[in-house]
Amino acid sequence: MHIPDGYLSPSTCTALYALAISAWYAALKRIKRMFSTRAIPLISVFAAFSFVVMMFNVPLPGGTTGHALGVAVAAIVLGPWGSMLAISIALAIQALFFGDGGITTLGANCFNMAVVGSFVAYAVYRTIAAAADLGSRRRVFAAAVAGYVAINAAALLAAVEFGIQPMLFHDASGSPLYAPYPLHVAIPAMMIGHLTLAGLAEAVISAGMVSYLQVADPGLLRGSASFAQSAPASAMAVASASEKRLWVPVALLMLLTPVGVLAVGTAWGEWSAADFANPATRTQIADASQNELPPAAVPAGLHRLSTLWTAPFPAYAPAFIKHPAFGYLLSAMFGVGFLVLLSLIPGAVSKKWQRRELRT
């Protein structure tokens, strides 16, 4: 199914490159987020593994052999995004280093086999396996069907790409310029081989590998490479380096809180009900409001609401601290600390959930 150069028109190749590049971009972003710094060695070695598995001759019923792509196993172990990248890299090396598959058609090959293949395999596997036990026969069956359907979906796409060529690209005499067969010839011609040999090879290798992993390493079947997401402590430290950089401005802001003590006047709009009665504060309000005098009486709404809630640090100065400036500083630092604590809770809870998922 590796389409060589010359079978597809440049505009078809460009369109499929654009689709593949968008998928790679999204996948790369997701994978970096999921695996942090582990992504590069994991995807690279998995791509090398996929490349070698593509060379295996898979014995089929009837005595023949066929080659598999390994896309279902990649999607089951790495998740669709990781699988898409690993299979694409394997295909790129086949094209660029071994000359298997074209360069102008690399986008098409990757889109058919790596992008669509991975998503179809993952969706079929998840649908059939549902919540079945990691060691159940249902998962083996799901893997076989996922491999079979994925390879046939990719072949169908390739057939459609071939089939539209004579319709869109022909010369004045009617000679097709690229792949010569229309859809009604290209689709059956492509599908016969894939519905039988290639699909079967993919089903055999997918089912066989899942059955082996159920015994040897069930952790790999948990999906989306959950085995790799619990990166070692050192990696976590590296990953959170950028988060750490965020703490610098927070610390700086905390150190700057004394500036608030130096500020004169009143913060516009942050008045309490009592401020309206105090002549000194009334003058400050008027100064801050372009000499517009505040109303003589406390506005009714403000008066009603002001009794609803009394902050733990009223007016930023706890009762037991007599010096207002010291109280202000303490309040500021306490406030920042409280917010930091609040922001850490969701992170801790999500980590706990992740650990729980990994245990099951």
Residue 135 engages another protein in binding (rule: CB under 8 A): no
Size of the site for another protein (CB under 8 A): 83
Q: How many C-beta atoms surround the C-beta of residue 194 within 10 A? A: 23
Q: Residue 354 and residue 34: Cα distance in Å, rounded?
A: 12
Among 118, 116, 91, which Cα is nearest to 224's?
118
Which position among 15, 19, 30, 56 is part of the footprint of another protein (CB under 8 A)?
56
CB neighbour list of residue 129: distance below 8 Å, 6 or more residues apart: 138, 139, 142, 143
Nearer to another protein, 44 or 127 (CB): 44
Residues 104-133 contacting another protein, CB under 8 A: 104
Q: Residue 60 and residue 336: Cα distance in Å, rounded?
A: 66
Residue 356: CB minimum distance to another protein, A: 23
Q: Please give the single-letter amino acid code of residue 194.
A: H
Residues 207-226 contacting another protein, CB under 8 A: 207-209, 211-213, 216-217, 220
Residue 337: CB minimum distance to another protein, A: 30
Query: Over the range 227-252, which residues count as b (16 or more CB within 10 Å of their CB) and which as e?
Result: ebeeeeeeeeeebeeeeeeeeeeeee
Residues 17-46 contacting another protein, CB under 8 A: 24, 28, 32, 36-46
Residue 136: CB minimum distance to another protein, A: 17
Nearer to another protein, 98 or 309 (CB): 98
Residue 49 engages another protein in binding (rule: CB under 8 A): yes
Among 166, 216, 210, 212, which Cα is nearest to 186's?
166
Helix (H, G, I), strand (E, B) or coil at 35: helix
Nearer to another protein, 216 or 333 (CB): 216
Residues 271-330 contacting another protein, CB under 8 A: none
Cβ distance 54 to 68 under 8 Å? Answer: yes
Q: Residue 171 and residue 165: Cα distance in Å, rounded?
A: 12
Residue 105: CB minimum distance to another protein, A: 9
Residue 130: CB minimum distance to another protein, A: 23
Which position among 1, 16, 34, 47 is part of the footprint of another protein (CB under 8 A)?
47
Residues 153-192 contacting another protein, CB under 8 A: 166, 171, 173-181, 185
Among 4, 12, 24, which Cα is nearest to 115's?
24
Residue 343: CB minimum distance to another protein, A: 24
Which position among 18, 22, 33, 57 is part of the footprint of another protein (CB under 8 A)?
57
Residue pointed to by tokens 């969701």: 346
Residue 205: CB minimum distance to another protein, A: 6
Which position among 123, 195, 238, 288 is part of the footprint of another protein (CB under 8 A)?
238
Residues 258-277 contacting another protein, CB under 8 A: none
Q: How many C-beta atoms surround the C-beta of residue 87 within 10 A? A: 28
Residue 128: CB minimum distance to another protein, A: 19
Q: For residue 291, what is the DSSP state? A: T
| Token pair recorded at residue 125 | 């596997």
Nearer to another protein, 48 or 288 (CB): 48
Q: Residue 48 and residue 53: Cα distance in Å, rounded?
A: 9
Nearer to another protein, 15 or 336 (CB): 15
